Structure 1
Amino acid sequence: MKVSQHLKAGIIPILTLALSACGKKELNQTPDTLSAKNGNRIAAVESSTPPTKAEALLAMQCYNNAFYQQYGTYGPSYKAYYYSDVTHTGRMDFWRQAEAIETLIDAYTVNNDTDLRNKFVYLYNGMRDNWGLLWSSNSYNDDVIWGALMCIRAFRITNDGGMKDMAKNNFDLVWSRAWDTNLGGGLWWTTGKTTKNACVNAPAAICAIYLYQATGDAGYLTKAKQLVDWMVSKLYASGSGAVAGAMNAAGTITEGTRTYTQGTFIGACNLLHTYYPSNNYLTMAAKAMDYTKNNMCNAAGLLPDEYDTDDCQGFKAIFARWACQFVRDRGYQGTYANWLNYNAQQAWQYRNSSGLMWGQWWRRTPDSYVNSFETTCGASMMNGVWLF
């Protein structure tokens, strides 16, 4: 693959050096066969060191080299999008585009690299250009919330009022059409109102807290607390720390745990703890972390692949984002750093010749085909561990 014109010239020698060692043999083992005797975590977890910060930046630049497409001007600025895969068959769909931009924001937060900042602004412009300012035509409330969360995170860096307005207006749209007192509260997943899902309620809580910080409107903080408290009452298992994925209109749990719902629940609890320290949010976040580590990983400590559909393959990027921030904010490095570092290390170890990492962190990433959602996972984890 040719090096994109959007990469800085100075990174080319680094790229060549880093990728020259990519010809690693594929392990002839499944995740389960990587376990140590008696199912204990392998010693590598406890002695693991993350990829270097320079490698974390390089991972994001490799991702941009593979998928980033700038396609014109947007007022005095530019606009861009991410392709859906390495064959450049089309742009990523709405929610996955938002999550890829969040991965870029993750990398900028750690590296403060001007090129990364410019790119997430241009990608945001591309979202506006392609989907407009208000996403009322999208029936998936979680999609709209993922987009709003991306916008408010971008605003926190740029102080661009347009980003704040997009986040606020789209969050308000979802709240007005999705919150009701059926099942005791919570947001419906879609406008069809068949299930209330963690994948809309937890990220909406995070978005609401950031909106409170951006606007000073205490109503958003109240909404965040309502969302998390509803999840605790309906989807969270206090004994184990598992966060169920969804409840149907009859009150029956219909989905199990996923890394992204664990991660966004952790992120929401982490942020709420700042404002309600006497509540149990910190303990619940830690329990959700423990459940993910002890019950969702394989015996070697690797996060699950979640490759059942292509809509699931990037979930670990979302988990990494909020789990790493939680560890940094609450000083839990001694409990979780080795585990998270090990996952980052394994992701980078099995990169392909273009520096891309798919979500199966126990074997080499193919050179032939990967999509741009699955390959957010390694980049987000590699940069996330540098938060702490």
Structure 2
Amino acid sequence: MRNSQYLFLLTLTFSACIKKELSRHPGTLSAKSINSNAVAASIVPPSKGEALLAMQCYNNAFYHQYGTYGPSYKAYYYSDVTHTGRMDFWKQAEAIETLIDAYTINNDTDLRNKMVYLYNGMRDAHGLLWSSNIYNDDIIWGALMCIRAFQITNDGGMKDMAKNNFDLVWSRAWDTNLGGGLWWTTANNTKNACVNAPAVICAIYLYQATGDASYRNKAKMIMDWMISKLYVAGTGEVKGAINAAGTITEGARTYTQGTFIGACNLLHSYYPSNNFKAMAVKAMDYTKNSMCNAQGLLPDEYDTEDCQGFKSIFARWACQFVRDQHYQSTYADWLNYNATEAWKYRNSSGLMWAQWWRRTPDNYVNSFETTCGVAMMNGVWLL
């Protein structure tokens, strides 16, 4: 049942990829100064009805259903509001994860159906096994989306798609160079947090779905390697990448922090004596204290289009960690503040770009940057 506040808001609102390796370090990230007070105590986030509305506004702008898929349908998200084409592979997977986040909070049948149709669109566009994609992180993001969709639908095809693609990455990307870790691409030049941390999460979910302990063991192996090479124990920073010569080539990003936090959260249940929860706290604190501005606003990451949706990934895993480990009193106000700021600066279509300190343009936004506010608004309802 939709509440009257939600109906009122709804009425108001509706009158293949080329990547660059990132080289910026956290000191160069932009968290703009804003004319607002510091984070106040007990900040009330946008309502659950508004969180659902934010997802519906996103679907209204970008969702495209384009045909049947057996007895079902298929769909994709456009890359921007001008509908110039579909989102590329990994961004599509992350947009579907944002939809999964919203369904988890709202239990809305339309969102569940769209999730299935978008999954069908991924199968239709990219096939069942993604071995032609040189980016191991792309494949892991796609596998993670599939296993999360399986958790909702219990569709064995989703589970198999996740398993087979995770196995593909493991077989071609894990080796003992640098002591372990997964290579970012098939060129084997760098080992990056953006493939390793989500692979830990994906492997734990595969273990939960299959009962095969080898996935849990692989998750632990990957994480042990990340801690030894990319995690800075003294600060909680999670570096972005290390090259084959052993040199760190990228600093922290919100999604490196977020996926590391998510991986620690899941591993803590199986290895409670391994300090994973404490490391997640350090990573949360680093994000809050060293990457945000004085008011606690998460940074803009706009140096390439690939960066613009990173905050959605942070929101997803940070909020789950806070819920699971009962850190609401420590972090809820900060996360609620970010959700409130994102929604405050939405445009006339209800879309929020990732610069949560000024109004979202009406004329142009892309569908990756606009996942951030939706993920944060729904994520805080886990708290």
Q: TM-score, normalised by structure 1?
A: 0.92
- CA distance, structure 1, for counterparts of residue 286 and residue 211 of structure 2: 34
Which structure 2 residues correspond to residues 1-388 of structure 1 after superposition, within 5 A? Answer: 14-17=9-12, 32-34=32-34, 42-388=37-383
CA distance in 1 between partners of 2:262 and 2:32 (Å): 29
Q: CA deviation at 1:16?
A: 1.7
Contact 1:247 1:253 in 2 (8 A): yes
C-alpha distance after superposition, 1:54-107 (max 9, x if no partner): 000000000000000000000000000000000000000000000000000000
Q: Distance in 1 between matches of 2:192 and 2:231?
A: 12
- CA deviations on 1:197-237 (whole Å, 9 max, x unpaired) are 00000000000000000000000000000111100000000
SS in 2 for 1:240: coil
- Separation in structure 1 between the aligned mates of residue 98 and residue 59 of structure 2, nearest angstrom: 11
Shift of 1:13: 5.6
Q: In structure 2, what is the Cα distance between the partners aligned to 1:146 and 1:127?
A: 12
Shifted more, 78-87 versus 11-20: the winner is 11-20
Q: Distance in 2 between matches of 1:385 and 1:33?
A: 23
* Superposition deviation, residue 15 in structure 1: 1.3
Q: CA deviation at 1:327?
A: 0.4
One-letter amino acid of the counterpart of residue 63, structure 1: Y
Contact 1:103 1:379 in 2 (8 A): yes
Q: Secondary structure at the match of 1:247?
A: strand
Equivalent residues of 2:39, 2:333 under 8 A apart: no
Question: For 2:287 and 2:38, how far apart are their aligned partners in 1?
Answer: 19
The 1:235–1:44 alpha-carbon spacing in structure 2 relative to 1, beyond 3 Å, is closer
Q: Assess if the C-alpha contact under 8 Å between 1:201 and 1:227 holds in 2.
A: yes
SS of structure 2 residue aligned to 1:172: helix
Cα deviations by residue, 1:234-285 (Å, 9 ceiling, x for unpaired): 0000000000000000000000000001000000000000000011100000
Give unmatched runs, 5+ long, in structure 2: 1-5, 16-29
Kept in 1, the 8 Å contact 2:257–2:284? The answer is yes
Task: Report the Cα distance in structure 1 between the residues aligned to 2:92 and 2:173, rounded to whole angstroms.
Answer: 23
Change in Cα spacing, 1:44 to 1:235, as seen in structure 2 (3 Å) is closer
Shift of 1:137: 0.1
Q: CA separation in 2, counterparts of 1:65 and 1:213?
A: 34
Instruction: Specify the alignment match of 1:23 in structure 2.
Output: none
Q: Distance in 2 between matches of 1:49 and 1:193?
A: 46
C-alpha separation in 2, matches of 1:197 and 1:47 = 37
Using the alignment, how far apart are the partners of 2:291 and 2:248 within structure 1?
A: 18
Tell me, what secondary structure is at the counterpart of 1:73?
Answer: strand
Which whole-Å CA distance do the structure 1 matches of 2:334 and 2:379 have between them?
13
CA RMSD of aligned residues (A): 1.4
**Partner amino acid, structure 1, of 2:34:** L
SS in 2 for 1:46: coil
Q: Would the aligned equivalents of 1:57 and 1:383 in 2 still touch at CA under 8 Å?
A: yes
Whole-angstrom distance in 1 between the partners of 2:228 and 2:33 = 38
Q: Match for 1:356: what amino acid?
A: L
* 2:126 partner amino acid: W
Where 2:307 maps in the other structure, the secondary structure is coil
Cα distance in 2 for partners of 1:17, 1:200 equals: 41
Aligned-pair distance for 1:19?
6.7
1:338 Cα deviation from its structure 2 partner: 0.2
Given residue 326 of structure 1, which amino acid in structure 2 is its aligned partner?
Answer: F
Gaps of 5+ in 1: 1-10, 21-29, 37-41
Q: 1:386: Cα distance to partner?
A: 0.1
State, as a whole percentage, how many aligned pairs show the same letter: 81
